[in-house]
Amino acid sequence: MTAVNLSFAACGFMGIYQLGAVGALLRHGDRLLASLRACAGASAGALVATVVVTAPEKLEHCKEFTYRFASNVRRQTFGAVTPGYDFMLELRDGIEDILPANAHLLANERLHISITNSKMGKNNMVSSFTSRDELIKVLLASSFVPVYAGMKPVEFQGQKWIDGGFTDSLPILPVGRTITVSPFSGPQDICPRHAGRRKLHLRLANMNIIFSKDNIVRLNQALFPPPLSRLQAIHQEGYEDALRFLRTEGWIQAPYRLIRASFPGCVPIH
């Protein structure tokens, strides 16, 4: 079978959709995962990709962290930009708690993170990490939205970086087939279905999405998270959309187990 990659779109708190999709892939996508070569992502998508590569056994932990993080942002008077609230600190604490000590070793050449140079406005894909702390720094850089997340871009290798979603929000890797996952309706492999007939597409930093009311709502929810009940529904939607993709592609077979051939850090899912 041809080698495949997974790429997760930049999407803020809508990353809960991607966590739902990953849940379906880990439980039912053993044939796909056996051929998995690498994962890529931007912003929240990079965080999800990192979990797949380095800590799939922490998926439930990631979901609960996302719910808590969203709840904390909602409690702030002005959301993430509320004076005194440190968005990046809470994000870093969550990442620190999830990633294993050898995360950078598991991630080398298997994880591709999109970041944007704050001065030149050019994209860079990082796939080599000398330490766990460096991996975390790159993840924070890929998630840094100026003003929303703070005023100081993340420093990495002597330069300053911001959200990778500004320049490449859905990376396509050059080798193998890249399966794309996005919480926005469009031509991506795993994404919500578009309910209307008209399909006017918009291109946002290398990602096509359908111009629709539903997608406008989703874009708003990426930065301003909805209540818990809605987040849970979005998570379930991601799970069901990924399951539909696996069925359509003929990638489901029993027993439903996670094959560890591609990523030694993976554990069985029953």
Residue 77's SS3 state is coil
Positions of E strands within 20-126:
36-42, 111-117, 123-126
Interatomic CA distance for residues 86 and 148, integer angstroms:
10
Q: Which helix (H) or strand (E) holds 4?
A: strand 4-8
Amino acid identity at 129: F
Phi, psi dihedral angles at 160 (to 5 degrees):
-110, 140
Catalytic residue among 7, 118, 142, 163: 163
Nearest residue to 54 via CA among 259, 265, 267: 265
β-pair type (177-181, 159-163): unpaired
Give yes or no: 7 in active site.
no
Interatomic CA distance for residues 152 and 145, integer angstroms:
10
Give yes or no: 43 in active site.
yes
Interatomic CA distance for residues 70 and 54, integer angstroms:
23
**DSSP structure string for 169-192:** SS---SSSEEEEE-SS-SS-SB-P
Other Cβ atoms within 10 Å of 253 Cβ, number? 11
Catalytic residue among 7, 43, 142, 143: 43
Note whether 20 and 238 are within 8 A (CB): yes
Note whether 35 and 4 are within 8 A (CB): yes
Note whether 154 and 135 are within 8 A (CB): no
Note whether 108 and 132 are within 8 A (CB): no
Catalytic residue annotation: 43, 163
